[in-house]
Structure formats: structure tokens, C-alpha cells
């Protein structure tokens, strides 16, 4: 089954073509980041306008790269939520128009499920499976007992971890999105600063990152007032240490409780080296649990993951018929 995926929920205009949920025939991602950088974040109205400008070209390029004609496509899958509403509308309308014009099946999928399915491109799934979703907008622990079955065990009560990385990077003068740059800085420093580890004892699988973010901002403000120097590499290392430890500890705890066969990490922060290293180390204490990450290009927003999510959602609907 050949699925064309469309993703426009934030600031990437993306179209991909994927065969049987695995074989990526084309993966075109047009990033608008240069238009948003100066504002320190994504400006929704600007994002919608750039999606409109690029969407048709990105469709054409994906078909060209896959060397396919529209009638070779079996299913069109598009991100319908969550995301910036103006941006989503552009992708949904383009996908619907394409499906209607070429008489193709059409399905709407959830962006977060897309991030989870990004793992399937290079790794098989083994159930029960625990997904740690860490993106710019979400932080969740999701239990899957089968394909297309999702149970949220916990989520952030305030900031998403990626959002926190971006904010911490911003106060250190780094460009948006700052996650990868903070990760790089962290590897050049040592975690010398004392920052909180927020576990929410009674709320075992929920997360809270706003306190950690505020602790970094307070440390910088008070150092500034006292005229003290702050070593940014050490601060990045301390921040990363706190964020990664909480993510890792809760993931391992949930993996034990639900006796999972596999842990997968999903979303932009799945690219984080510190998180990859900490989980690889921690998973050694579990018996026979497979740890998988998506390839770096499938961690951040792309349409290949949406095509895979569409493929599985379509199969599950088909089975119920």
C-alpha cells in the first residue's frame, strides 16, 4: 500500500510517500525556520502564509522523488491535530483536494501518533510497548498494547520538555529552536549548578518542567544582579542532567510496571544525545527490553511519519469493517 503523507501542523511544509509503512520513497521537508528565527519562535500567521506558498511545490517534488503519478497512490494521510490551526487547514485542504481530484482514499491522523510511528520506519514494534514522546509541544508516556492502541500513562502538567530547551537556549542567547544547540553545549560542560529534579511524587507518570525552566532563569538573573559570571556550558549540562534524569527515571519505572517488551522515544527531543545515552545505560537494568529511536531525520517534524500513522490507522479501520 502506497501512502502519501502531508504535514503542516507547525513550521515545516512536508509531503512524503511511504510504501507499506516502512519504505520511504520520498520525504520532502521545507523548513520555514529562517522566517521565524528573528521572533524567537513560530509566528502562526507567518507559518500559514508560507505553507500556502510552498504546499503545491512540495507535493510535486515528493511525487517526482518517488517517481510516481498521483494515481499510483492508495491513500492520502494528513495531520489534523494538534497544531497551529491556520497551518493545519492548509495541509488538510491540500490533502483533501488531491485525494478528491484523483479519487483516492483519505484519512486524518494525529501528529503525536505520527511521531510514535516514525520509529516503525527503521524498527519493528514489539508489544506491549512504551513510547516516551518528547517534542516541542508534548511530553507524554504512552502505552501501546497493539498497533493503533494508545493509552496515555502521564503527560506534562505545564511546559513540554522541548519548549523548555528552547526557552533556556533563548536566555543564553541561542537561536530558535535551541534544543540541539543546548544539547551540544551540555556536552562541553559539567553539571556543576544545582537545579531541581521534579518528580511529582503522587503523580508518578506526569511531568512538570516549568520549575526547572524558572530555576535556570532565576540563576541567570541573580548572577547578573551580583555581577557573577555564569558558565553557559556548565549551565546547559546541569539543565540537561535534570531534564534527562526525570525523563529516564519515569520511563524505566513505567517500563517495569507495565512489563514492556520495547521502549521507543519519539519527537524532536528524541534527537538529544544526553537522553539517548542515559536511556541506553538505564535500559541495561531491564531484562530483554528493546530500546529504539527514530533516525535523526525522522525525530523532528516530517510527513513520512504521518504516512506511516495513516497506514496503520487505515488498517485498523479496515479490520473493523
Determine, following the binding rule CB under 6 A, whether residue 110 of this chain makes contact with ligand KG4: no
Q: Which stretch binds ligand KG4 (CB under 6 A): 139-147, 193-201, 202-210, 266-274?
A: 266-274
Helical axes 85-101 vs 44-66, angle rounded to 10°: 30
Determine, following the binding rule CB under 6 A, whether residue 79 of this chain makes contact with ligand KG4: no
Binding partner at 91 among Zn ion, ligand KG4, none, C-beta below 5 to 8 Å by kind? none
Distance CA 68, CA 104 (A): 14
Binding partner at 88 among ligand KG4, Zn ion, none, C-beta below 5 to 8 Å by kind? none
Binding partner at 162 among ligand KG4, Zn ion, none, C-beta below 5 to 8 Å by kind? ligand KG4
At its nearest, how many Å lie between Zn ion and the CB of residue 268? Answer: 6
Task: From residue 277, give the alpha-carbon distance in Å to each of 107, 248, 267, 270, 285.
Answer: 37, 10, 16, 11, 14
DSSP state of 283: G
Residues 6+ apart with CB under 8 A from 36: 11, 42, 43, 46, 47, 176
Nearest to 108 by CA among 124, 94, 120: 94
At its nearest, how many Å lie between ligand KG4 and the CB of residue 72? Answer: 29
Determine, following the binding rule CB under 5 A, whether residue 135 of this chain makes contact with Zn ion: yes
Residues 6+ apart with CB under 8 A from 180: 271
Determine, following the binding rule CB under 6 A, whether residue 165 of this chain makes contact with ligand KG4: yes
- Among 78, 84, 180, 254, contact with ligand KG4 (rule: CB under 6 A): 180
Q: Which stretch binds ligand KG4 (CB under 6 A): 141-149, 162-170, 246-254, 304-312?
A: 162-170
Determine, following the binding rule CB under 6 A, whether residue 271 of this chain makes contact with ligand KG4: yes
- Among 91, 189, 267, 310, contact with ligand KG4 (rule: CB under 6 A): 267
Binding partner at 180 among Zn ion, ligand KG4, none, C-beta below 5 to 8 Å by kind? ligand KG4
Residues 6+ apart with CB under 8 A from 8: 14, 51, 55, 79, 83, 87, 88, 90, 91, 94
Binding partner at 5 among Zn ion, ligand KG4, none, C-beta below 5 to 8 Å by kind? none
Q: Which three cell numbers stand for residue 255?
A: 517500563
SS (H, E, C) 295-314: CHHHCCCCCHHHHHHHHHHH
At its nearest, how many Å lie between Zn ion and the CB of residue 175? Answer: 19
Pick 104 or 183: Cβ nearer Zn ion = 183
Distance CA 230, CA 273 (A): 23
Pick 26 or 247: Cβ nearer ligand KG4 = 247
Count of positions on this chain that bind Zn ion (CB under 5 A): 2
- Among 5, 21, 91, 136, contact with ligand KG4 (rule: CB under 6 A): 136
Distance CA 229, CA 238 (A): 16
Determine, following the binding rule CB under 5 A, whether residue 139 of this chain makes contact with Zn ion: no
Distance CA 63, CA 79 (A): 19
Distance CA 186, CA 275 (A): 12
Determine, following the binding rule CB under 6 A, whether residue 135 of this chain makes contact with ligand KG4: yes
Determine, following the binding rule CB under 6 A, whether residue 162 of this chain makes contact with ligand KG4: yes
Q: Which residue has the cell 528524541?
A: 270
Determine, following the binding rule CB under 6 A, whether residue 300 of this chain makes contact with ligand KG4: yes
**Cβ count near 253 (within 10 Å):** 14
Determine, following the binding rule CB under 5 A, whether residue 302 of this chain makes contact with Zn ion: no
Binding residues (CB under 5 A) for Zn ion: these are 135, 301
Binding residues (CB under 6 A) for ligand KG4: these are 10, 115, 135-137, 162, 165-166, 177-180, 183, 267-269, 271-272, 300-301
Amino acid at each position: 500500500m502506497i501512502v502519501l503523507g502531508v504535514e503542516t501542523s507547525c513550521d515545516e511544509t512536508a509531503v512524503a510517500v511511504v510504501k507499506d509503512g516502512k519504505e520511504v520513497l520520498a520525504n520532502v521537508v521545507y523548513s520555514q525556520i529562517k522566517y521565524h528565527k528573528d521572533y524567537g519562535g513560530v509566528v502562526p500567521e507567518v507559518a500559514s502564509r508560507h505553507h500556502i506558498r510552498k504546499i503545491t511545490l512540495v507535493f510535486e517534488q515528493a511525487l517526482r522523488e518517488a517517481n510516481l503519478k498521483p494515481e499510483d497512490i492508495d491513500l492520502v494521510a494528513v495531520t489534523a491535530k494538534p497544531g497551529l490551526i491556520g497551518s493545519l487547514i492548509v495541509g488538510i485542504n491540500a490533502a483533501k483536494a488531491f485525494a478528491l481530484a484523483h479519487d483516492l482514499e483519505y484519512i486524518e491522523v494525529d501528529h503525536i501518533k505520527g511521531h510514535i510511528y516514525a520509529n516503525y520506519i527503521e524498527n519493528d514494534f514489539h508489544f506491549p510497548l512504551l513510547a516516551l514522546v518528547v517534542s516541542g509541544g508534548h511530553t507524554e508516556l504512552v502505552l501501546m498494547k497493539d498497533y493503533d492502541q494508545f493509552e496515555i500513562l502521564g503527560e506534562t502538567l505545564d511546559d513540554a520538555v522541548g519548549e523548555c530547551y528552547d526557552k533556556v537556549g533563548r536566555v543564553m542567547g541561542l537561536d530558535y529552536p535551541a534544543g540541539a544547540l543546548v544539547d551540544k553545549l551540555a556536552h562541553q560542560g559539567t553539571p556543576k549548578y544545582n537545579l531541581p529534579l521534579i518528580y511529582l511524587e503522587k503523580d508518578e507518570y506526569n511531568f512538570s518542567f516549568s520549575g526547572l525552566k524558572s530555576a535556570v532563569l532565576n540563576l541567570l538573573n541573580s548572577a547578573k544582579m551580583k555581577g557573577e559570571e555564569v558558565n553557559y556550558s556548565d549551565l546547559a549540562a546541569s539543565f540537561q542532567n535534570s531534564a534527562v534524569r526525570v525523563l529516564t527515571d519515569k520511563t524505566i519505572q513505567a517500563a517495569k510496571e507495565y512489563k514492556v517488551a520495547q521502549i521507543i522515544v519519539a519527537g524532536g527531543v528524541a534527537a538529544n544525545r544526553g537522553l539517548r545515552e542515559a536511556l541506553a545505560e538505564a535500559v541495561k537494568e531491564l531484562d530483554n527490553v528493546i530500546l529504539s529511536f527514530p533516525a535523526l531525520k525522522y525525530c523532528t517534524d516530517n510527513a513520512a511519519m504521518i504516512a506511516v500513522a495513516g497506514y496503520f490507522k487505515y488498517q485498523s479501520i479496515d479490520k473493523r469493517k
